[in-house]
Amino acid sequence: GRTLFRSMLADHGITPRMEHYACMVDLLGRTGHLDEAYDIVTTMPFRPSKSLLESLLGACRFHGNSKLGESVGKILTESDHGNPRSYVMLSNIYASAGKWSDYERLRSDMEAKGLIKDVGVSLIGGTY
Contact 25, 41 (CB under 8 A): yes
Please list the ranges in the chain whose pLDDT falls under 70: 80-81, 118-123, 125-128
pLDDT of residue 79: 81
Separation of CA 88 from chain center: 12
pLDDT of residue 58: 93
The CATH fold of domain 2-112 = 1.25.40
Contact 71, 90 (CB under 8 A): no
pLDDT of residue 113: 86
Domain boundaries, the chain: 2-112
The residues, ordered by sequence, that sit 6+ positions from 16 with a Cβ below 8 Å of its Cβ are: 5, 8, 9
Long-range contacts of 60-66 (CB under 8 A, 24+ apart): 60/29, 60/34, 60/93, 61/89, 61/92, 61/93, 61/96, 63/29, 63/32, 63/34, 64/96, 65/34, 66/93, 66/94, 66/96, 66/97, 66/99
